[in-house]
Homo-oligomer: A and B are copies of this chain.
Amino acid sequence: MKTTPRQNLITAAALVCVLTFATTIAQAADPLSSWNDGPAKKAVVEFVQATTEKSSPKFVPPSERIATFDNDGTLWAEQPMYFQLLFALDRVKALAPQHPEWKDKEPFASLLKGDVKGALAGGERAMLEIVMTTHAGMTTEEFEKIVKDWLATARHPKFKRPYTEIVYQPMVELLAYLRANGFKTFIVSGGGIEFMRPWTEKVYGIPPEQVVGSSIKTKFEMRDGKPVLVRLPEINFIDDKTGKPVGINEHIGRRPVVAFGNSDGDRQMLEWTQAGLGARLMMLVHHDDAVRELAYGAESKIGTFSDALMAEAKTNGWTVISMKNDWKRIFAWEQ
């Protein structure tokens, strides 16, 4: 039987429809659609399959599926400087009218003149003074509101978007993919625990009780018959470098099987994770995309990815994620 041109056309159209539909389905079905098919994505998918398939020799029981993630530079960006530091600088400006003495007092004087570099020239002491002045003295509830209010209005200097949108879409997909496979996802960050908790659930799907970070001390007090926790200008815990395994042990109480970081501050977390028995997955995000984000690493003060770390990654079999090659897109709002 012969087909008419019209019939041919209909058949062709139908075929196109079916193919388009199939492609759409395939894309929708890929939980890691912002990852290019490459070694990093492959390592993730193979690890998850091997640890969740009951018959696999690498099977990990659901209760042991603990995955820890650094935040700055791993889940969201950290340039031109840590967002929490930008928050602190904005707070200094907001509080300045109540502190006329800052006009002549470093590091505040330089800061208020817009000279961030000059302010931070005072090193760790200057940084600590800025952090304590802007992070302590209020109740935990008041601080939470300050953070939320800032996030609602502040914009990233380069991307002109709220900081909570400067998050890496492939990592957001990865978090969801791990959770869909029974992993419990935690943040283990050098950032302030109470600076992160107000927004991590909404942005990453990670609830407050699964956030580990640096902290200052708090004190229980009764104010007008109501109990409050007052934030004190005293360091409680620094969740960085050797502090990360300590923080993991204190807050989680078991060793992760998955750990993602991006800098020298994450080294010990990855070592600690790897030292456990059974299957493990350690990865480092490498900022090598000067076009879509930034290329930095060994030479950067913020998010240092030293040559020694790169060498250790090779020796230990940690996967280094190339943002340039492994990520199809970096931010959700990219085309």
Contact = CB atoms under 8 A, between A and B. Distances in A.
Interface of A: 63, 66, 140, 184, 193-194, 197, 201, 207-211, 215, 218-220, 226-227, 229, 236, 242-243, 245-246, 249-254, 268, 271-272, 275
Q: Assembly of this chain: how many copies?
A: 2
Contacts of A246: 218-220, 229
A291 to B, nearest CB: 37
A193 B253 CA distance: 9
A186 B104 CA distance: 49
A207 B63 contact: yes
Contacts of A250: 193, 215, 218, 236
18 contacts: A63-B201, A184-B209, A194-B253, A197-B253, A209-B210, A209-B251, A209-B252, A209-B253, A209-B254, A211-B253, A220-B242, A220-B243, A220-B246, A227-B271, A227-B275, A229-B245, A236-B250, A251-B251
Most interface-central of A66, A236, A251, A253 (chain B CB within 10 A): A253
A275 B220 contact: no
Given A194-B253, A227-B268, A229-B249, 15 more contacts: A63-B201, A184-B209, A193-B253, A207-B253, A208-B253, A209-B253, A215-B250, A218-B250, A219-B246, A220-B243, A220-B245, A220-B268, A226-B275, A227-B275, A229-B245
A211 B252 CA distance: 9
Nearest to A198: B253
A227 B209 contact: no
Contacts of A194: 253
Contacts of A140: 249
A208 B268 CA distance: 21
Most interface-central of A63, A193, A210, A245 (chain B CB within 10 A): A245
A17 to B, nearest CB: 41
A331 to B, nearest CB: 26
Nearest to A272: B227
A249 B211 contact: no
Contacts of A253: 193-194, 197, 207-209, 211
